[in-house]
Amino acid sequence: MIPGVSITEILTLTSILFFIGVYGFITRKNLISILISVELILNASVVNFVIINKYLFPDVLEGVIYSIFIIAVAAAETALAVAIIINLYRQTGSVEVKDTQVMKY
Amino acid sequence: MNLSYILLIPFVPLAVFLVLGIFNQKIKPAVSGVIGVAGLGISTLLSYYTAFQYFFVSGKADGIYQTFVDKIVWLHLTDSLQIDMGYLIDPISVMMLVVVSTVSLMVNLYSRGYMKGDDGYTRFFAYLSLFSFSMFGLVLSTNLFQIYIFWELVGVSSFLLIGYYYTKSSAIAAAKKAFIVTRFADFGFLIGIFVMGYYTGTFDFQELTDPEGAVILNWASTSFMGLSVITWALLLIFMGGAGKSAMFPLHIWLPDAMEGPTPVSALIHAATMVVAGVYLVARLFPMYYLVEEGFALEIVAYVGAFSSLFAAIIAITQTDIKRVLAFSTMSQLGYMMMALGVSGFDGHEGLGFMASMFHLFTHAMFKALLFLGAGSVIHAVHSNYLKDMGALRKYMPVTNITFLIAALAIAGVPPLAGFWSKDEILVAVYEHNQFLYLIGVLVAGLTAFYMFRIYFGIFWGKETKYEHTPHESPKSMSIPLIILALLTIVVGFIPFSELVTADKMAFEAHLNIPLAVIAVSVGLVGICLAWLFYKKENDLSDRFAHAFGVFYKWTSQKFYFDEIYLFMARKVFYKNVAAPIAFFDKKFVDGTMEGIGNKTVLISQKIKGMQSGKVQDYAFGFIAGVVIIAFVFIYIWTN
DSSP-assigned letters across all residues of B605-632 = HHHGGG----HHHHHHHHHHHHHHHHHH
pLDDT above 70 (res B65):
yes
Separation CA B451–CA B456 (nearest Å): 9
- For residue B200, is pLDDT > 60? yes
- Name the nearest CA neighbour of B353 among B407, B300, B410, B418: B300
B248: phi then psi, degrees, rounded to nearest 5: -55, 135
More confident position, B517 or A102: B517
* A/B interface, count of CB pairs below 8 Å: 26
Higher-confidence residue: B22 or A3?
B22
pLDDT for the residue numbered A46:
93
Q: Is B80 helix (H, G, I), strand (E, B) or coil?
A: coil
CB contact under 8 A, A104 and B613: yes
Q: Do B497 and B509 form a contact (C-beta atoms < 8 A)?
A: yes
Tell me if the bond preceding B415 is cis, omega within 30° of 0.
Answer: yes
User: Region B321-345: what's the mean pLDDT?
Assistant: 88
Residue (of B144, B146, B152, B154) closest to B104 by Cα position: B154
Closest-CA residue of A relative to B609 is A105
| Cβ–Cβ gap A97/B613 under 8 Å | no
Q: Residue B623 and residue A26: Cβ atoms within 8 Å? A: yes
Interface test with A, best of B615, B617, B622, B627 (most A CBs within 10 A): B615
Position B247 scores a pLDDT of: 87
Decide: B71 and B85 in contact? Cβ < 8 Å.
Answer: yes
Residue-level pLDDT at B1: 59
- Report the gap between the CA of A22 and the closest CA in chain B (Å): 8
For residues B142 and B69, give the distance between their C-alpha atoms in angstroms, rounded to a whole number.
Answer: 7
- Average pLDDT in the B239-247 region? 88
Amino acid at B627: V
Cβ atoms B114, B93 nearer than 8 A: no
- B425-457 pLDDT tens trace: 888 888 888 888 888 888 888 888 888 888 888
- Spatial neighbors of B486 by CB under 8 A, at least 6 apart, are none
Nearest Cα neighbor of B31 from B115, B129, B121, B102 is B121
Residue A54 to chain B, least CA–CA distance (Å): 26
Span B125-140, pLDDT tens digits = 889 899 999 999 999 9
Per-residue pLDDT, B190: 92
**pTM attached to this predicted model:** 0.78
Instruction: Provide the pLDDT for residue A11.
Output: 92
A24: nearest CA in chain B? Answer: B616
Q: Is A33 exposed, middle or buried (0-12, 13-18, 19+ CB in 10 A)?
A: middle
Distance CA B463, CA B470 (A): 13
Find the CB nearest A105 among B611, B619, B623.
B611
Phi, psi for B385 (deg, rounded to 5):
-100, 140
Answer whether B392's CB lies under 8 Å from B380's CB: yes
B613·A103 Cβ contact <8 A: yes
- A25, A100, A105 member nearest B619 (Cβ): A25
Q: What's the CA gap between B536 and A5, in Å, rounded?
A: 137
Q: Which helix (H) or strand (E) holds B69?
A: strand B68-76
Q: Give me the domains of chain A, ranges plus CATH numbers.
A: 7-99 (1.10.287.3510)
Listed residue (B75, B88, B83) closest to B196, CA to CA: B83
Least confident of A91-95, B346-350, B376-380, B582-586: B346-350
How far, in Å, CA of B267 to CA of B132, rounded?
Answer: 9
At residue B73 the predicted structure's pLDDT band, cuts being 50, 70 and 90, is confident
pLDDT at B634: 94
Interchain CB distance below 8 Å, A26 and B613 = no
The amino acid that residue B213 corresponds to is G
Compute how many other C-beta atoms are within 10 angstroms of the C-beta atom of residue A15: 12
Instruction: Select the residue of B611, B616, B620 nearest A97 (Cβ to Cβ).
Output: B616
Helix axes B29-52, B121-140, angle to 10 degrees: 20
Q: What H or E segment, with its residue span, contains residue A92?
A: helix A62-92
Reply yes or no on whether the pLDDT at B519 is more than 70.
Answer: yes
- The shortest CB-CB distance from B616 to any of A26, A102, A103 is to A26
* Rounded Cα distance, A33 and B510, in Å: 117
Mean pLDDT score across all residues of chain B: 85
**Rounded Cα–Cα distance for residues B8 and B371 (Å):** 29
**% of chain B surpassing 90 pLDDT:** 12
pLDDT at residue A1 is higher than 80:
no
CA-to-CA distance for A15 and A8, rounded, in angstroms? 10
Contacts of B584 (CB under 8 A, 6+ apart): none
A105 touches chain B (CB under 8 A): yes
- Give the model confidence (pLDDT) of B17-44 as tens digits: 998 888 888 888 888 888 889 999 999 9
Please name which of B331, B250, B341 lies closest in space to residue B296, comparing C-alpha atoms: B341
Nearest to B428 by CA among B499, B357, B355, B359: B355
Q: What is the CA radius of gyration of chain B?
A: 30
* pLDDT tens-digit map of B77-104: 777 778 888 888 888 888 899 999 999 9
Inspect the interface and report whether the beta carbons of B620 and A34 lie closer than 8 Å. Answer: no
Does the beta-carbon distance from B612 to A22 stay under 8 Å?
no
Per-residue pLDDT at B56 exceeds 90: no
CA distance A33 to chain B (A): 12
Mean pLDDT of A39-61: 91
Beta bridge partners of B69: B88
Return the DSSP state at B64.
Answer: E
**Are residues A104 and B616, on separate chains, in Cβ contact within 8 Å?**
no
**What's chain B's length in residues?**
639
Give the containing element (helix H, strand E) for A53: helix A31-56
Q: Does A2 touch chain B (CB under 8 A)?
A: no
Residues of B in contact with A34 (CB under 8 A): 616
Set of chain A residues whose Cβ sits within 8 Å of the Cβ of B616: 25-28, 34, 97
Chain B contact set for A28 (CB, 8 A): 616
Q: What's the pLDDT score for residue B165?
A: 86
pLDDT band of residue A104 (cuts 50, 70, 90) is low
Calculate mean pLDDT across residues B547-574: 77
A25 to chain B: closest CA residue: B616
Is B620 within 8 Å of A105 when comparing Cβ atoms? no
Q: Which of A101, A102, A103 to mutate to test the interface with B (most CBs of B within 10 A)?
A: A101
Highest averaged pLDDT of the listed ranges A6-15, B380-389, B518-527: A6-15
Nearest C-alpha of chain B: how many angstroms from A2?
Answer: 30
ipTM of this model? 0.75
Q: What is the mean pLDDT of residues B576-602?
A: 91
Average model confidence (pLDDT) for chain A? 89
Q: At what angle do helices B144-162 and B276-283 cross, to 10 degrees?
A: 170
Distance, CA of B523 to CA of B497 (rounded, Å)? 24
**Alpha helices in B245-274, H assignment, sequence order:** 253-256, 262-266
- Cβ separation of A105 and B616 shorter than 8 Å? no
Phi, psi of A8 (to 5 degrees): -60, -45
Q: How large is the angle between the packed helices B434-459 and B513-534, nearest 10 degrees?
A: 30
Beta bridge partners of B64: B61, B505
